[in-house]
Amino acid sequence: MPKRFDTKTAIVTGAGSGIGAAIARQLAAEGATVILADLDEPGAEAIAKEIRAKGGTAHVRTVDTSGAAQVESLMEFAKSTCGGLHLLVNNAGIGGPANVTGEYPLDGWHKVMDVNLNGVFYGLRYGLPLIEASGGGAVVNMASILGTVGFQTACAYTAAKHAVVGLTKVAGMEYAKRGIRINAVGPGFIATPLLEKNLDKAALEGIAQMHPIGRLGTAEEVSALTCFLLSDAASFITASYHLVDGGYTAQ
């Protein structure tokens, strides 16, 4: 029985943990050859091993997405090893420091912008020509609910995620007639190491209750939306931003 991503090659950045790992697992289970790109090589290798054990095809590249040359060479790897690229998930991201804007550390600001915004731009800058040359495909940029609302003490993260939504709209329009759909996904708070390593149990419970649905989301729930947007079932959806947030932004 054919699977919906058979014959497709996908890159998922930040695939060694959390949301990226769930997306890589789902894409591979549904037939894609997946390139897992992450700073955390052991983390990405562990997910790739799981994928291969289930009969999927996975490659691992150690990449810092905040470096343009590294992202360019990631795309060259896709071309030389897999013959091209069809699906790209610009997912790698960091939380950054927590502080009010008037006291926000400059190095933290630049680091968050480098990874959460510039890294997404580099993915588009070097990925779009390759996807176009490979016959077209789809891109998802991982934004956040903080691409639409603010969160005190998170000025850099919020600004970067708002910018990712804007970048997605522009690139999506530019490539709409060129065979590439480009969308952004906005998760609410999701139970992943990004959250769990920064917050204790009581803080996590408090955050869970900020969602009308009364809990944190799962990486698999974000993956389900992402893979839908990457699939042909989403053929009329481009240049737009899609929430998976348990009702958070409706308040």
Phi first, then psi: give them for residue 9, nearest 5 degrees: -110, 135
CA 201-203-205 angle, to 5 degrees, is 70
Q: Please tell me whether residue 187 binds ligand NAP under the rule CB under 6 A.
A: yes
| 126 part of the active site | no
Our CB check for ligand NAP shows the closer of 195 and 224 to be 195
Residue whose pair of structure tokens reads 């950054």 in the numeric block:
96
Give, for 62, the enclosing helix (H) or strand (E): strand 57-62
Our CB check for ligand NAP shows the closer of 132 and 151 to be 151
> x/- contact string, 105-144, with ligand NAP (CB under 6 A)?
----------x---x----------------------x-x
Amino acid at 73: S
Among residues 157, 175, 241, 248, the one annotated as catalytic is: 157
Amino acid at 76: E
d(CA 96, CA 105) in angstroms, rounded, equals 10
Our CB check for ligand NAP shows the closer of 1 and 108 to be 108
Phi first, then psi: give them for residue 202, nearest 5 degrees: -65, -40
d(CA 160, CA 79) in angstroms, rounded, equals 29
d(CA 52, CA 46) in angstroms, rounded, equals 10
Q: Please tell me whether residue 65 binds ligand NAP under the rule CB under 6 A.
A: yes
Residue 6 CB, nearest approach to ligand NAP (Å):
26
Query: From the list 5, 11, 13, 183, which residue makes contact with ligand NAP (rule: CB under 6 A)?
Result: 13
Query: From the list 5, 122, 175, 189, which residue makes contact with ligand NAP (rule: CB under 6 A)?
Result: 189
The rounded Cα 134 to chain-centroid distance in angstroms is 21
Our CB check for ligand NAP shows the closer of 6 and 196 to be 196
Which residues are at the interface with ligand NAP (CB under 6 A)? 13-14, 16-20, 38-40, 43, 63-66, 91-94, 115, 119, 142, 144, 187, 189-190, 192-195
